[in-house]
Structure 1
Amino acid sequence: MKKDMRFLAVVMLLLISFSSYNASAQQVQKGQFLLSPFLGLGYYYAGSGLAATIGVNGEYAFTDEISGGGYLAYTRWTHDYGYLGNDYDYTYNFIDFGARASYHFAKLLRVSNKKFDPYAGAFLGYVASSYNYDGPANSAYDDDYDGAVRSGIYAGARYFFQPNIGVFGEVSIGLTPISGGVTFRF
């Protein structure tokens, strides 16, 4: 956990270093809704193998600094290997959904670029899983990923290249380690 917190601290310092200082910035304003479809690489539950996540976040700005809403994500993780002449192929499917809340740092950090929105937050949700196995029938392996409540933290930044359209990137502990996508501001 200490290592994870240090990682997020470094990300926040990088976000601060890329911003200029001026008290007039308001990147997210009270009453706005942010809809952010995303793609993620890696997955919290996935060990080795390839995991790709597709999802969407939706957040309402309660104030110029605090937003909250929900997320929905689908992850497919495949793991294929051979051992003693047998092929073992596992495919997992995860559906994650829940609530998330963000603090937008632009005003606190006095970011002068009104197109740049640094933020961090936490989420609480549920994950459901299923898997398919293609291998020897005598394998003792069984799906060890049951549905569970999950929580996590994230840090990210958005850049609005149009008044209501931007791009974003996030790092996260608890869902997908790295993700990015497009944000639509309503």
Structure 2
Amino acid sequence: MKYLLALVIPFLFSAQNVTAQAWTKYTKLISVGLCAGNYYYLGTTRAAFFGPTTGRYNPVTGQISVEGEFGVHEYIGVGFNAGFGGARSGTFGVKGSLNVPVGVLANFHFYQLIEDLTGTNLHAEAIDVFVGVSIGTGLGVISYNNVSDQVVPLVFGGAHVGARWYFSPNIGLSGQFGFGKSLVDLGVVFKLN
């Protein structure tokens, strides 16, 4: 039994050191937030004043967002994002819109890289700063004042910058700004490992 404990205890401490950084190759996380989305609704829209128009409609919408990210390299993560939201409009005969976006993302976590290269303590165990790209699609529903509702495809894509601050080893706050999946996204992040 003593020998088993002598083997297991160092393993437990080494496993703690692996997760002491805010981002590693083994990181798995889920974040939930509120965001302002800006998705392109494709197809022919039926604006009341202009009749059918071909093009895009891209209102800023309030969203509930869910994002997952999984480490594939010491500084790179890939994942998914999804959401549900909508907006009231009142312009051009549009009452409002609902949307359900889903997409993929890739992030480069450069704060950890800077700490590793400089050898200084930048508190990368609690702070994660990253840049990334996202692309996706989904469905939107546009409601009109004088005609029936319309279901249209939506698309998004773009770059973002973000930061996460972990106030405990597995729970933190997240903020992202950019274009694509959201203009701004603020929420809570949970590490799963």
User: What TM-score results when the alignment is normalised by the length of structure 1?
Assistant: 0.71
Alpha-carbon distance between aligned partners in 2 of 1:98 and 1:42, rounded to the nearest angstrom:
13
1:119 aligns with 2:130: yes
1:40 aligned residue (29, 35, 38): 35
Q: Aligned match of 1:160 in 155, 166, 191? A: 166
Instruction: Give the deviation of 1:41 after TM superposition.
Output: 2.5
Helix, strand or coil: the match of 1:80?
A: coil
Q: Deviations over 1:126-185 (max 9, x none)?
A: 12111222x346xxx985x83144321111000000000000100021232111100000
Tell me the percent identity. 27
1:31 aligns to what?
Answer: 26
Q: 1:42 to 1:123 in 2, by over 3 A?
A: closer
Structure 1: which 5+ residue stretches go unaligned? 1-24
When structure 1 is superposed on structure 2, of 56-65 and 162-171 the one drifting more is 56-65
Contiguous gaps of at least 5 residues in structure 2: 1-19, 41-57, 116-120
Counterpart-to-counterpart distance in 2, 1:178 and 1:40:
5
Describe the SS at the equivalent of 1:181. strand
**How far did 1:122 drift?**
0.7
The alignment covers a number of residue pairs equal to: 150
What SS is found at the alignment partner of 1:156? strand
Larger radius of gyration: 2
Partner of 2:51: none
Off by >4 Å, runs of 4+ in structure 1: none
The whole-number CA distance in structure 2 between the counterparts of 1:156 and 1:109 is 16
Q: Which residue of 2 aligns with 1:146?
A: 152
Matched, 1:169 2:175: yes
Aligned to 1:12: none
Q: Output the aligned Cα RMSD.
A: 2.5
Q: Distance in 2 between matches of 1:90 and 1:30?
A: 46
Q: Render the CA deviation track for 1:89-141: whole Å, top value 9, x for unaligned.
A: 512111110111111012222261120100111112112111222x346xxx9
Question: What is residue 51 of structure 1 aligned with on the other side?
Answer: 61
Contact 2:39 2:156 in 1 (8 A): no
Q: Does 1:107 align with 2:118?
A: no
TM-score under structure 2 normalisation? 0.69
2:180 equivalent to 1:183 = no
* SS state at 1:63 partner: coil
Residue identity matched to 1:124 = I
1:53–1:75: 8 Å Cα contact kept in structure 2? yes
